[in-house]
Amino acid sequence: MERFVDVPGGRLLVVDEGDGPPVVLLHAGIVDLRSWDGLAPHLAGRGFGVVRYDARAWGRSTTEDVAYSNRADVVAVLDALGIERAALVGNSRGGQIAFDTAIEFPDRVVAVVGVGAGLGGFEGHPTPEEIALLEEMERLEETGTDVEAITAVNVQAWVDGPGQPAGRAPAWIADHVRATSLLLSAPDHVFGRPIVLDPPAAARLDDLRCPVLAVAGALDVSDVPETAHHLAAHAPHARAVILPDAAHLIGMERPVELADLVADFLEPLRPWG
């Protein structure tokens, strides 16, 4: 079921399916809610209510040029659907939003699954080759004029994985990243101004009271598995799982395996809502 949820200065496209304890899926910054198309039905089939939405400025969601909180947007979606508490599953940027939301609104979040997730304020140790790749990505995004070059670097870093052969991951994943790059690179595209969590999550892991599962791919940029291990070592109720043959977009590469990991992790926490 599709609906739009109004938020201050914006409008979010929300899709929900299934019945059971609610799980909210937060997509990565190089894709939109369709990146969960493979995972959502399997999670619903395991008896969970699955909610996903396009973040502001992504997919079919919109924003004005306003300051806004991604954490407040998560809560706005929960409120619009009448959800008191939810588990959050976030990929990359979505993972960082999930951790931030669990810290700022602990009474609304029952658990967090970070999938190739970022962690605000944590600095990992990428290799020199990865640093060069990420710096090239940043340079291209700052100019914003060569969409094909931006897409090619995104596919290399986040789809196939740094140092992996081109085409390692299915072509349709690269196609989705390419379409998202075209949308985000449009000269008139409005992103709004996200308000960051301050202090950042890495300095507040003791406040991350809910259970945490940190899933990362071994083929990802090396500081992503490092982030998962850091969470497992320093968050109160966290553990890490590293998948050997996946990169950054695990929900697209390995949807059934990820759905089972999420469902098995959440099963002992039933019921919530």
Cβ(91)–Cβ(250) under 8 Å? yes
Predicted confidence (pLDDT) per residue in 219-242, tens digit: 999 999 999 999 999 999 999 999
Q: Rounded to an integer, what distance in angstroms lies between the CA atom of residue 79 and that of residue 22? A: 12
Q: Rounded to an integer, what distance in angstroms lies between the CA atom of residue 239 and that of residue 242? A: 10
Q: Is the pLDDT of residue 261 over 70?
A: yes
Q: Rounded to an integer, what distance in angstroms lies between the CA atom of residue 181 and that of residue 24? A: 24
Instruction: Dig out the tokens for 4 from the structure.
Output: 């739009």
Write down the pLDDT at residue 167: 93
Nearest by Cα to 14 from 76, 106, 63: 76
**What is the gyration radius of the CA atoms in the chain, in angstroms?**
17
Predicted confidence (pLDDT) per residue in 182-207, tens digit: 888 888 999 999 999 999 999 999 99
Query: Pick the residue with more confidence: 125 or 146?
Result: 125
Q: Read off the pLDDT band of 273 (50, 70, 90).
A: confident
Instruction: Dig out the tokens for 77 from the structure.
Output: 């979606």
Write down the pLDDT at residue 214: 98
Predicted confidence (pLDDT) per residue in 127-185, tens digit: 888 888 888 878 877 776 677 888 888 888 899 999 999 999 999 999 999 899 888 88
Write down the pLDDT at residue 99: 98
Instruction: Dig out the tokens for 212 from the structure.
Output: 């945490």
Q: Is the pLDDT of residue 208 over 70?
A: yes
Predicted confidence (pLDDT) per residue in 85-123, tens digit: 999 999 999 999 999 999 999 999 999 999 999 999 999
All domains of the chain in start order, with CATH:
2-124+190-269 (3.40.50.1820), 128-184 (no CATH)
What is the pTM (predicted TM-score) of this model?
Answer: 0.96
Q: Is the pLDDT of residue 67 over 90?
A: yes
Residue 208's alpha-carbon distances to 175, 225, 252, in angstroms, are 36, 19, 27
